[in-house]
Structure 1
Amino acid sequence: MKAFEIQTYLDGKWRIDSVFDDRELALFEARRVDQGSRYSGVRVIEENYDESSDLTTTRTIFRGSNLARRQKAQKGAQAIKAHGSASRGAGSRERQKKRRPRQNQKSSNYFIPVLILSVLVVAGLAALYGLQALSQLR
């Protein structure tokens, strides 16, 4: 009997994600999981169980790692950044020094809710006054 386990690597531990009977389906799902950024590694383990001898043999049929892709992307980004900063020259450095730092002001988001509450209170008082006036007409 054959079974295919998809195992994912996260926080220093391999965990069984899912188990399939079909090899192609397991490989397809492992590639799909590997394309995402949720896990740093994924692998597919093929397990063969022989009922007569009660032995299980395992082998890895797929390994994927986001770590290698991330490192390659970071190296490319660093190369672009280094090339871009070298081509700018000293003029951009002077401009960067003249920029003022943003002030860390706490913006108050209470104005709109207080305004809405005030309008509702005024509308409620106006409704009460109107009902009072209507009741005195009779």
Structure 2
Amino acid sequence: MPKSDEQIGIKAMMSQAVSFEVDTYQNNRWVLECVLDDKDMALSTAKRLYDSKRFSAVRVVQETYDENSNSSRERVIFETTVADRDNRAAKARQTATKVDRSERQPLKKRPRKTTEQNPAKKSGPSLWVLLLLFAIISAGGLGLLVYVKSL
């Protein structure tokens, strides 16, 4: 009696074992933390380890072992690093402070100063003129005092 496609598929699935490794990055190498049979549990464990901020990176590796060929395949299904965490935090800060620029008026440009423009003229007498006037008035007053005293 020939086997149906469903029976062949079930037998093929039974000959494969799937496990999920949770690895952490420590001292410049990946370290195996635990092996789980449940994908969701492995992902939540990896996220919990990563959120503890004790590791610079965490990953989940799905390993599929084929009993028929006595071989296994590995595939990274989740990986995150400190750079990912920093990027997410920066993006959250950026969206929180983002301003609606649609109603913003364009900036007005300042007029450029050219070398042909006359420098601003000062109003009133210069310091040297004031000092000269002070000296003349002081000398006249001193001369007047000497003349009055001699009388």
Report the TM-score when normalising by structure 2.
0.46
Higher relative helix content: 1
- When Rg is computed on C-alpha atoms for both structures, the one with the higher figure is 2
Report the TM-score when normalising by structure 1.
0.50
